Structure 1
């Protein structure tokens, strides 16, 4: 029978080392790791910074709190007692092999409650920056081109249409933030209940309609095989010449080559990107030299609010599991019937973790 408990009875968490800078300081600030201490849970930073978590990195751990590293089949290779939880700091999980985690009885959680408002705020920030030509106007001042300012008239939001590709929790927060601007909002999301959209005052439509009718299209959906290149050359051709495209989700949802061609040909007005198909983008990427594009290094939502929110959400998932409870925001729901998971959670619940920290 599988050994359900660590030898010393303590629940142990490894935190991926990409949270630390070269001087060993947490670049995210307070991510609520103190709450693990308060719960009597042992934790430590992993000894090496790696792009992929391998079996030696996680051997002996009950849970892993991670940001950037990939979780793959090799993470579990040869482990007799895999971690029970991989708590992702953030909402994206395209770097996680969910099938491998499920096969080995490991939960994968994300932190939508911590990220939703910061990402929604970032989307609004990017939208306003693009509509007001902030990057170009900043350059005019820095380069002494004040007299050219008349060429960069911006666009207001009042009475215009904002189209959302995805109407999940973050996009719903953005709808609330957009209300004072008196813009009409339409959205494509085949999984959103119609009553939810009605309550928000959002008109649901197919993807082509959103692309064709919106003055600003904002990509806010999860990257899956279904959404990869959802915004392709054909859909870009449907957009108004005066419209702009923004992506605060994942780079591969937009066909970047097609977007560059649309911008070069003035088929759309501009773009705002916090994400790219390849990150970081190649120094020769044409997007980097375009005046009508506002760019950010996949970090526009990074604020103290997001650090605390994501960290708190991930830590709550860890504490739940350490006490034998199922956490919220489990991505791989198929794992819930796995015998290994059931046995270990049951053992943790029976012990009540009374011995943790003793």
Structure 2
């Protein structure tokens, strides 16, 4: 019986029980490691048939060193840990799990939005300091009628829009890859990024991290926002220029921010954001629920099984250009 080597490059889970349920025994050999560097990934994965990846770097040097790999599956939505171009050149499928945490991330963004708008964390800090005075948390503005600007309008912000609409928000979005009709049928108006930043009372970032989106919320965008506006980021830290954000918060260009992600994670203990009372921070947890974790890991393992055991493309194939490799005889 043919055996396939499946390497888990790294993980933050308590165990690998869901992966073992799908890939344990039979034709699969599941090999868990904890890689942090490209050198470690190369050593562990050189002869792997498939890779499950969380945060370990799979740059071009790693991909080019893979001798047998047919599929790389990322635990999550973003695939910024993987060199897609190099994988495509090698005929390696790259897959993700884009639908496992739609409710979780949209719920988290909504919770951060309501926290900022109603000044919940700020008021909590005041009360715990012995200051029982609502005026110290001012100003708080009525939610209904405010404008929320969604940077990106993929699956997660579409779910978020449906949750925001009943609260009476006006919704605008910026996404050059989404047809206007898709947004309009959800009651959302597509606008330029410049207009979104000028008009929004709350800007919620949902763009994937790519070369195009890195730093897309920078000094120019933050400077054009309203002084009373808030910024929320539940996507990837580097989509927001952190230096520009710090300047914006110090100089009062915006009223505050809520960040589930930062440029370098985990955040360093002396980071200036930690001392800013107008900033709410959570530890890259927007995706998390027990149900989402099980779904993520099960679907990632199933993608490996689809490719290796059944010779099919994974359901969530990211680099669809690799399908052109079919005529080479690589696929059944």
- Is TM (by shorter chain) over 0.5? yes
Which position in structure 1 is the counterpart of 2:44?
57
SS of alignment partner, residue 70 of structure 1: coil
Q: Is the 8 A contact 2:96 2:316 kept in 1?
A: yes
- Which of 2, 19, 32 aligns to 1:9? It is 2
Residue-by-residue CA offset, 1:115-165 (whole Å, 9 max, x unaligned) = 3222111111211122222332332343x3233543113344222111001
Counterparts of 2:112 and 2:216 in 1: how far apart (Å)? 20
Which position in structure 2 is the counterpart of 1:350?
none
RMSD (Å), alpha carbons: 2.2
- Which of 266, 283, 286 aligns to 1:297? It is 283
Which position in structure 2 is the counterpart of 1:181?
167
Is 1:331 the counterpart of 2:324 in the alignment? no
Which position in structure 2 is the counterpart of 1:36?
23
- Which of 152, 158, 164 aligns to 2:150? It is 164
For structure 1, the 5+ residue unaligned runs are 1-7, 347-358
Counterparts of 2:19 and 2:147 in 1: how far apart (Å)? 39
Q: TM-score, normalized by length of structure 1?
A: 0.85
Q: Is the 8 A contact 1:66 1:89 kept in 2?
A: yes
For structure 2, the 5+ residue unaligned runs are none
Counterparts of 1:99 and 1:49 in 2: how far apart (Å)? 22
The Cα of 1:278 is off from its aligned counterpart by: 2.1
Which position in structure 2 is the counterpart of 1:280?
266
Which position in structure 2 is the counterpart of 1:111?
97
Structure 1 runs of 4+ with >6 Å offset: none
> Superposed, which structure 2 residues align to 1:199-238 within 5 Å?
199-238=185-224
- Higher normalized contact order (CA 8 Å, seq sep 6+, divided by chain length): 1
Is 1:147 the counterpart of 2:139 in the alignment? no
Q: Is the 8 A contact 1:90 1:112 kept in 2?
A: yes
The Cα of 1:60 is off from its aligned counterpart by: 3.1
Counterparts of 1:136 and 1:228 in 2: how far apart (Å)? 30
Bigger mean CA offset, 148-157 vs 209-218: 148-157
The Cα of 1:32 is off from its aligned counterpart by: 5.2
Counterparts of 1:66 and 1:41 in 2: how far apart (Å)? 20
